Homo-oligomer: A and B are copies of this chain.
């Protein structure tokens, strides 16, 4: 007696999550040190000490004052504490030259919560949401939650930048939203300013043609994770109808805490309706508000640097080692994923072969792009080192 949608979902559930569980089972069987689990984007560098210190200080003040305890763990506006939202606006303005205040920022239950309340606010059934393959597979579920249809744009297989000719051809009068995710999961690619300008120009032109707004939904959990001196960017600058979803999961290593925010710039069409709709959606979809103590704790850590060096070291080791073994990989510019070409067209066969050596990789088809695999290198450096002999055997098996 479960619903039809869930029946379908049970049949084809998340490949990433399934592998996360398989990895735990393999670790129990072979010993954790003998399993090389590159499946899940679960940070392996801990939250900064400043974050736990902030939690301790907030909870300590609550034990000393009833009114602090009531404020710390109580209801606030469904959009979050105004002072937390203002702190985030100030931080963004300082870093990116934007001009937000608290009312442009809504605190959310992670980026997943943020994207869902954005979608609930803008999507009607049968609307189309464009994604650039390869893409985070959960977007499919988020669009389906509101009976919208996901439309996939093919990548340029040379560099995994989006194919903008294909993009333009996919926009119809049903297009309501376009998702971008840069630095990208699963490719590690960053969209260049030129790419962003072209995306914006195409959207401006198409909005005129079809006669209604198209929102660019920028999913930015990896914003802080950029390498080789690449500059972080803020995409509301390129296109006025940009709505941003952010999460502290990766930047502060807090994926379990479910804390993030949404930004709606004043220049977006119907900005006030969007903000009111997002606030209502936060409530009615059952989030109610972002976890209260976590809101206050992250507000204390906005200047905390992300541990980019940790991931950069992993990135270099994994990319260089696998390239040397003969695998073809996209060199990551950001995020903590390596996107690797499967030596055989059917990458599921390759993923299965990897498991023989206790290597866990996620099939590219989970990201709408068969023939590739994703390796999450948000793991310990030592695990990557230990995994290299296994990759060597795998390379030999495929005569690389």
Which residues on A are within 8 Å of B, measured CB to CB? 1-7, 9-10, 13-14, 17, 20-21, 40, 42-44, 46-47, 49, 52-53, 55-56, 59-60, 62-63, 66, 69-70, 72-78, 109-110, 112-117, 120-124, 138, 141-142, 144-146, 176, 212-213, 215, 253-259, 269-270, 273-274, 276-277, 280-281, 283-294
Distance between A150 CB and nearest chain B CB, rounded to angstroms: 13
**Interface residue from B6, B124, B288 paired with A120 (Cβ < 8 Å):** B6
B-chain residues with CB within 8 Å of residue A259 when the two chains form the complex: 291
Distance between A81 CB and nearest chain B CB, rounded to angstroms: 9
A280–B11 Cα distance when bound, in Å, is: 11
A213–B1 Cα distance when bound, in Å, is: 7
Contacts A47-B73, A59-B56 known; A146 to B3 CB distance under 8 Å? yes
**Interface residue from B14, B62, B138 paired with A52 (Cβ < 8 Å):** B62
Summarize A's interface: helix, strand, loop or mixed.
helix
Residue ID in chain B nearest A71 by CB atoms: B256
A73 touches B280 (CB 8 A): no
B280 touches A10 (CB 8 A): yes
Q: Could you list some 7 contacts between A and B, CB below 8 A?
A: A1-B269, A6-B281, A46-B69, A257-B291, A258-B289, A286-B287, A287-B287
B-chain residues with CB within 8 Å of residue A14 when the two chains form the complex: 280, 283
Distance between A83 CB and nearest chain B CB, rounded to angstroms: 14
**Interface residue from B2, B142, B257, B273 paired with A286 (Cβ < 8 Å):** B142
B-chain residues with CB within 8 Å of residue A144 when the two chains form the complex: 284
A277–B21 Cα distance when bound, in Å, is: 16
Which 9 pairs across A and B sit closest by C-beta, in order of nearness? A256-B292, A116-B286, A46-B69, A141-B284, A112-B286, A55-B59, A6-B277, A1-B213, A52-B59
A76–B256 Cα distance when bound, in Å, is: 7
Residue ID in chain B nearest A144 by CB atoms: B284
B-chain residues with CB within 8 Å of residue A40 when the two chains form the complex: 75
Residue ID in chain B nearest A50 by CB atoms: B63
Distance between A78 CB and nearest chain B CB, rounded to angstroms: 7
B-chain residues with CB within 8 Å of residue A70 when the two chains form the complex: 43-44, 46, 253
Contacts A10-B273, A56-B59, A283-B14 known; A258 to B74 CB distance under 8 Å? no
B256 touches A75 (CB 8 A): yes
A293 touches B2 (CB 8 A): no
Distance between A345 CB and nearest chain B CB, rounded to angstroms: 30
Distance between A67 CB and nearest chain B CB, rounded to angstroms: 8
B-chain residues with CB within 8 Å of residue A72 when the two chains form the complex: 256
Residue ID in chain B nearest A141 by CB atoms: B284
Distance between A96 CB and nearest chain B CB, rounded to angstroms: 25
B-chain residues with CB within 8 Å of residue A288 when the two chains form the complex: 109-110, 112-113, 255, 258
Which of A46, A72, A274 gathers most chain B CB within 10 Å? A46
Distance between A237 CB and nearest chain B CB, rounded to angstroms: 21
B-chain residues with CB within 8 Å of residue A2 when the two chains form the complex: 121-122, 270, 273-274, 277
